[in-house]
């Protein structure tokens, strides 16, 4: 049985633009919210302009602009529920509406299952955060972000701050669920980079930072500074070894 807020959201969104399929309205809603949030968080004017153009293209799909004007009410409902934690709101909505594509391996995982997995996989995360000041998390097949929300709840319950002590790198192949993942991570206060791309081929089609990303950088700096330093040192050592080998052969 879905939670009342999900039922209210699904019922309300279904009443928008009867000429469109409910799945299409949901996708448009998520794209509009994504554009609004990502534009505000983007550090690049060019990307901000692109997101504004993308937003207006979605608006243009609706002849009756009252349908678009009705969406902020549902945006407030969704962001409020997500921000309170304890729920994969948009994942549950998508599952309720049958909007997930099983051919792409998209299935709704109930939040309690995701939470159990997060509790199991992140045992000892306190030690990592105490040692480094933060923990980095990579999700190569993020879906709507349900596992990341469960992770956020797990770490927050341990007394850590999501904006400054967790950095997320999440990749999702489906465009619509990429939008959902970004919305949910941003609304939950997670700092990180959400990627629209293919983790297997390493193709990237789009990238958006969450609003908490600059907060993280201001407090903790580049989350991968240590790894970059080690890689640079190794590259320098390899070059010196290669140069010495050339000298010895000469």
Closest CA to 163 of 236, 212, 214: 212
Confidence label for 99 from pLDDT (cuts 50, 70 and 90): low
Q: Which one is predicted more confidently, 105 or 58?
A: 58
Closest CA to 61 of 28, 38, 23, 21: 28
Q: Is 169 left (phi over 0), alpha (psi -120 to 50) or beta?
A: beta
Segment among 37-51, 72-86, 206-220, 235-249 with least mean pLDDT: 235-249
Q: Which residue has the tokens 């941003």?
A: 186
According to the model, what pLDDT value does residue 152 have? 96
According to the model, what pLDDT value does residue 104 have? 59
According to the model, what pLDDT value does residue 102 have? 54
Name the domain count of the chain.
1
State mean pLDDT over 120-142.
93
According to the model, what pLDDT value does residue 2 have? 65
Tell me which residue range forms the domain holding 28.
4-227
Confidence label for 247 from pLDDT (cuts 50, 70 and 90): confident
**136 pLDDT higher than 90:** yes
Q: Which one is predicted more confidently, 103 or 185?
A: 185
Instruction: Please check whether residue 10 is in contact with residue 29, taking contact to mean a CB–CB distance below 8 angstroms.
Output: no
> Domain for residue 250, yes or no?
no
**103 pLDDT higher than 70:** no
> Domain for residue 182, yes or no?
yes
**118 pLDDT higher than 90:** yes
Confidence label for 36 from pLDDT (cuts 50, 70 and 90): very high
Confidence label for 218 from pLDDT (cuts 50, 70 and 90): very high
> Domain for residue 22, yes or no?
yes
Confidence label for 202 from pLDDT (cuts 50, 70 and 90): very high
State mean pLDDT over 118-129.
92
> Domain for residue 237, yes or no?
no
Confidence label for 42 from pLDDT (cuts 50, 70 and 90): very high
> Domain for residue 238, yes or no?
no
State mean pLDDT over 223-248.
79
> Domain for residue 45, yes or no?
yes
> Domain for residue 248, yes or no?
no
> Domain for residue 244, yes or no?
no
Half-sphere exposure of 218 (CA within 13 A, CB side): 6
- On whether the pTM is more than 0.75, the answer is yes
Q: State the Cα–Cα distance between residues 133 and 223, nearest whole angstrom.
A: 10
**146 pLDDT higher than 90:** yes
List pLDDT tens digits, range 53-65.
999 999 999 989 8
Confidence label for 167 from pLDDT (cuts 50, 70 and 90): very high
Instruction: For the sheet with 135-139, list strands across it.
Output: 135-139, 166-172, 191-198, 203-209
- Torsion, Cα of 59, 62, 176, 145 (10° steps): 70
Confidence label for 135 from pLDDT (cuts 50, 70 and 90): very high
């Amino acid at each position: 049985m879905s939670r009342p807020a999900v039922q209210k959201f699904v019922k309300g969104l279904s009443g928008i633009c009867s000429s469109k399929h409910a799945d299409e309205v949901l996708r448009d809603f998520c794209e509009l919210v994504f554009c609004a949030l990502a534009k505000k968080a983007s550090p690049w004017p060019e990307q901000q302009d692109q997101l504004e153009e993308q937003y207006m293209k979605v608006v243009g799909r609706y002849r009756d602009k009252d349908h678009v004007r009705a969406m902020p009410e549902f945006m407030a409902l969704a962001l409020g529920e997500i921000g309170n934690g304890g729920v994969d709101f948009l994942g549950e909505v998508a599952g309720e509406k049958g909007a997930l594509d099983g051919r792409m391996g998209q299935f709704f995982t109930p939040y309690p299952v995701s939470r159990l997995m997060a509790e199991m996989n992140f045992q000892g995360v306190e030690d990592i955060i105490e040692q480094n000041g933060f923990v980095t998390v990579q999700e190569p097949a993020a879906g709507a972000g349900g596992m990341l929300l469960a992770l956020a709840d797990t770490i927050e319950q341990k007394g850590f701050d999501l904006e400054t002590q967790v950095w997320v790198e999440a990749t999702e192949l489906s465009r619509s669920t990429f939008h959902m993942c970004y919305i949910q991570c941003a609304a939950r206060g997670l700092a990180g980079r959400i990627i629209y791309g293919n983790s297997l081929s390493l193709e990237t089609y789009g990238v958006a930072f969450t609003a908490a990303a600059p907060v993280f950088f201001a407090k903790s700096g580049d989350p991968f500074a240590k790894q970059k330093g080690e890689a640079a040192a190794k590259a320098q050592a390899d070059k010196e070894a290669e140069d010495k080998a050339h000298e010895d052969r000469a």
